[in-house]
A = this chain, B = another copy of it.
Amino acid sequence: MTAKPAPEAPEESGPRGVAALAQERWARMAWSRIAEPETASVRDWIGRHGAVESMDRLLGGTLVPDGRYDQRVAALDIDQARHALDRLQVRVVIPGDEEWPLGLDQLACPPMCLYVRGSADLGIAEGSIAVVGSRAATAYGLRVAADLGEGLVQRGVTVVSGAAFGIDAAAHRGALAGGGPTIAVLARGLDRAYPQAHEGLLREIAAEGAVVSELPPGWAPYRQRFIARNRLIAAMSVGTVVVEAGLRSGSLNTAKEARKLVRHVAAVPGPVTSVQSAGCHKLLRETDATLVTDVAEVLDLMGRLGMDAVGPARAVATLESELGDRDRSVWSAVPVRVPADLGRLQELTALDSATLLSTLGRLSMLGIVERVGERWRKVPKSRW
C-alpha cells in the first residue's frame, strides 16, 4: 500500500480554529475521494476519531486491515484535486462552515463535504423546499412544477431539486423565472453538467443560486449515487413536494427520505388516468403525505416549519399581506445575488422610473431589498 503524506493545513493562516478548519476541510475532501456516500464504517471512524485523525490512520495503513481502499488511497493527490477545484470554480463546504446546511446533519450518513459552484451562499438552503418528480413528465406536470418553482421563490423560498429532465428542470426554470434562488443537487461530480443537455440550465442555476454535489469532480452517476443524492435533497429542505411520479420514480425515494427525516412530504394530484400521477396518488393513499394544489397550500404546510427552523425576524408568509401588487412585482424582479440596475428593472417591471424608484424605496424601508451603488438586490432572508 502506497501511503501518501497526510493532507496538511494549506496556506490559510490566522487563529488556530481556522487552521483546524482548513485541515478538517482537506481531510473531508480526501475522504470524499476514498469512500462512496453513505458508507457506515467511514461515518463510524470519523465519529470515533474525527476526519483528520482517521484520514491520518488510513494513510498510515492502520485504519483498514483489509486494504480495500488501497487503490483510491494510492490515487489520492490533494494538491492536484485542489487545483482542479480552483479551475472548475468549485468550493468545498464542510460542517462548521457558516453556510453548511444544518439539515444535512440529521442524516444517518451526512456527506463528507459539499462541492459547490454558484454565486449564492448555501445559507439560501435555509427554509428551502424541494420540488421533484419524474423525468418522463407530462405537459400538466411541467406546468405545475414551473408554477410552484416560480411561486415559491417569489415568496422568498429557495427551490431545491435534482436538475433532471422533466419535473426537476421545470421547477428550477420556474424558480429562475421568478428571480431565484434555486439549488441543484447532482448525482455526479461538478466537472461536467449532468444531464449534459442541461449545461445551460446548470450555468443559470449557479448564477442565481448553487449547484452542489457530495461527489468529487470526475465521479460519474450510478444508481446508488442517485439514491444517495436524493437524501441530500430531502435533508437540505424543510419539505419535499412530488409533482408527478410514476410508480417507480426516484422521486418517491426522495419522499421516503424526507419522511424518514421528519420533513414534510406533499404530493400534487393529477388525472387518475395518467401513469405519471400514479406515484403521487400512491403517496397520498399509503403515507401521510399531504395533497397540495398550489403554492399557498405548500407554504401552509411547510412555510411555517421553514420559518421556525430559520427563525428570521420576519416570516416570509407575512410578506404577502404587507405588499401590494406593484410592490410584489418589483420585489420579484429584483435579483437575489447580482444587483440589477434601474434599466434592467424597468425592463422587467414595465414601470416608469419614478414609480419604480419609489417602490424600491418602500421595499428598502421594509428591509427586503438593498441598494448597492446604483443597483438593487434582495436582502438575504437571514438578514430580514
A45: Cβ under 8 A from any B Cβ: no
Docked CA distance A143–B143 (Å): 23
Least distance between A285 CB and chain B CB atoms (Å): 5
Per the 8 Å Cβ criterion, residues 256-305 of A in contact with B are 268-273, 277-278, 281, 284-285, 290-291, 293-294, 297
A140: Cβ under 8 A from any B Cβ: yes
> Of the candidates B268, B272, B281, which one forms a contact with A272 in the assembled complex, judged by CB atoms under 8 Å apart?
B268
Of all chain B residues, the one with the shortest Cβ separation from A280 is B269
Least distance between A67 CB and chain B CB atoms (Å): 53
Quickly give the copy total for this chain: 2
Least distance between A14 CB and chain B CB atoms (Å): 53
In the complex, the answer to whether A293 meets B278 with C-beta atoms within 8 Å is: yes
**Which residue, A140, A269, A278, A294, has most C-beta atoms of chain B within 10 A?**
A269
In the complex, the answer to whether A291 meets B297 with C-beta atoms within 8 Å is: no
In the complex, the answer to whether A285 meets B290 with C-beta atoms within 8 Å is: yes
Of all chain B residues, the one with the shortest Cβ separation from A294 is B272
Of all chain B residues, the one with the shortest Cβ separation from A284 is B291
Residues on the B chain within 8 Å of A281, using CB: 269, 291, 293
Docked CA distance A271–B290 (Å): 16
Least distance between A288 CB and chain B CB atoms (Å): 12
Q: How many residues of A contact B (CB 8 A)?
A: 19
Least distance between A54 CB and chain B CB atoms (Å): 48
In the complex, the answer to whether B291 meets A291 with C-beta atoms within 8 Å is: yes
Least distance between A286 CB and chain B CB atoms (Å): 10
A144: Cβ under 8 A from any B Cβ: yes
> Of the candidates B271, B273, B285, B294, which one forms a contact with A291 in the assembled complex, judged by CB atoms under 8 Å apart?
B285
**Which residue, A144, A271, A277, A285, has most C-beta atoms of chain B within 10 A?**
A271
Residues on the B chain within 8 Å of A285, using CB: 290-291, 293, 297
Residues on the B chain within 8 Å of A294, using CB: 272
**Which residue, A270, A294, A297, has most C-beta atoms of chain B within 10 A?**
A270
In the complex, the answer to whether A140 meets B291 with C-beta atoms within 8 Å is: no
Docked CA distance A142–B295 (Å): 28
**Which residue, A144, A272, A284, has most C-beta atoms of chain B within 10 A?**
A272
In the complex, the answer to whether A271 meets B272 with C-beta atoms within 8 Å is: no
Docked CA distance A55–B135 (Å): 69
Residues on the B chain within 8 Å of A290, using CB: 285
13 contacts between A and B (CB under 8 A): A140-B271, A143-B273, A269-B269, A269-B270, A269-B272, A269-B281, A270-B270, A270-B272, A272-B294, A281-B293, A284-B284, A285-B290, A291-B291
Contacts A144-B273, A269-B277 known; 4 new A-B pairs at CB < 8 A: A269-B281, A270-B271, A281-B293, A285-B293
